[in-house]
A = this chain, B = another copy of it.
C-alpha cells in the first residue's frame, strides 16, 4: 500500500458525494462530462483573502498565468490580484482576450523572440529582461516602434530557495542576469531613457518550509538593496518572486503563511532607504489556484489482474502529467485522490487508479487504500488547479483535452 497525499481541508462531502463548490461531484460530471477540471472560485477568493490578511498591506500580489491560464479564472483573478506575470506573447493574448489591462503585467522568460518583445512593449507590459542582450534588443525594438519601453532586470541571485521543489537561482542559470552583472545594466537602462522598473528576483518554487521562504525573502531584499546601491539608481519596483508551496504528497504540511507574513512585516519595518519607496510584489501561481482545482474522471472499468485491482478511468496523464509522476519528479508519489462517489465508505481494498492511455506511465494513484470502486464511479484528483490541463500532453493518443469550468458556490448553500 502506498499512501495518498492530503486532501485540501476545504473539501467536504455529503453522504457519498464529494462536494465541489457546494454541489456533488456527480452533478458537475453530469452537467459537463468527464474528464473535467472544476476550479472553485470560492477557494481562490479565500486563498487571496488569507494572503491579504497575512502579508503586509504594502505587498502587491501578482498571479503567474503559467500556473493556469483558463480564461474565466483569469477574469476572476483580475478582480482579486494587483497584476499578472506572463511568460509568452500567447499569455499576453490571453489577458487581452479577457479585457485585462496588459499594463498590469510583467513578462519574464529566457527565450523571448523579437515579435514577443515588440508585442509586449506595444501593450505596455513591463519586460523582465533576462540578459544584457535582451535589454539592447528591447531598446532597439522600442525605439523602432516609438515606444518608451518599461524595463526591469530579472536577477539570477547568488542563492537559491532552500527546500524548493524547483530551483530557479544560484549557480549558472539560463534565467536572469547574474547578480554581479546587474548594476552596470541597471545604469544602462536608466541612461537609455527607458522606463526603469526595477528588479525581479525569483529564487525557487514550491517550498513548504516557512523558514526557507522567510530566509529567501530576506536575502532577496538584501540583494536588491545592495544591487540598487551599487548601481546608484533608485528601485521603483521589486518582484520578490514566489515559492509558496502547497501540500501534494503524504507527509506534506501547509506553508505557515502567518509566519511568512509576520517575518516580512518585521523586515519591511526596517528597510534600507533605497527600498523605502519601492513597490514590492509577490508573484504566486500554484499557491493561488492549485488547491482550488479538482480533476474528475469516470471509472470505465474495474479490473482485476493477478491479484491486483485497477480502476481504469477515462482520464489520465494527458491531463494530469504531474499527478502521474512524470513531470519534474524523480520518485513517483501519490497525489491526493478519492472516489468522489464513495465518500461515506471506508477504504477496504488496495487499488491502482489508471488512465485510458495505453502506457504503464498512465497511473493516477498507485496501490492506494480506497473504497471499492465500480464502473461509473468518479475519481477526484485534488491539487489539480495548477500545472494540470496546460502542463500535460493533451493531444497524446487522441483523447483530446478535458473540459474546464470555474465553479461558483450557490449562495444558498455557501457555508
Contact = CB atoms under 8 A, between A and B. Distances in A.
Give the interface centre of A175, A300, A389, A396 by most chain B CB atoms within 10 Å. A396
A111 B66 contact: no
Interface in A110-130: 110-113, 130
A408 interface: no
Nearest to A329: B326
Contact of A393 (B93, B321, B360, B399): B321
Contacts of A310: 110, 172, 174
Given A395-B390, A398-B90, A305 B172 contact: yes
B301 A90 contact: no
Q: Assembly of this chain: how many copies?
A: 2
Question: Binding site of A, secondary structure by majority: helix, strand, loop or mixed?
Answer: loop
9 contacts: A66-B397, A87-B357, A110-B301, A111-B300, A174-B352, A321-B393, A330-B330, A391-B396, A393-B393
Given A69-B398, A359-B166, A312 B87 contact: no
A178 interface: yes
A202 to B, nearest CB: 9
Interface of A: 65-66, 69, 86-91, 93-94, 108-113, 130-131, 133-134, 156, 166-168, 171-175, 178, 300-303, 305-308, 310, 312-314, 316, 321, 326-328, 330, 352, 354-361, 375, 389-400
B111 A301 contact: yes
Given A110-B358, A111-B312, A306-B171, A134 B69 contact: no
Nearest to A111: B356
Nearest to A352: B174
A310 B130 CA distance: 12
A139 to B, nearest CB: 15
Nearest to A394: B395
Contact of A174 (B69, B112, B312): B312
Contacts of A357: 87, 109-111
Give the interface centre of A110, A166, A307, A357 by most chain B CB atoms within 10 Å. A110
Nearest to A392: B393
Contacts of A171: 306
A258 to B, nearest CB: 29
A196 B167 CA distance: 55
A305 B303 CA distance: 52
Contact of A326 (B88, B327, B390, B396): B327
Contacts of A172: 305-308, 310
A180 B378 CA distance: 30
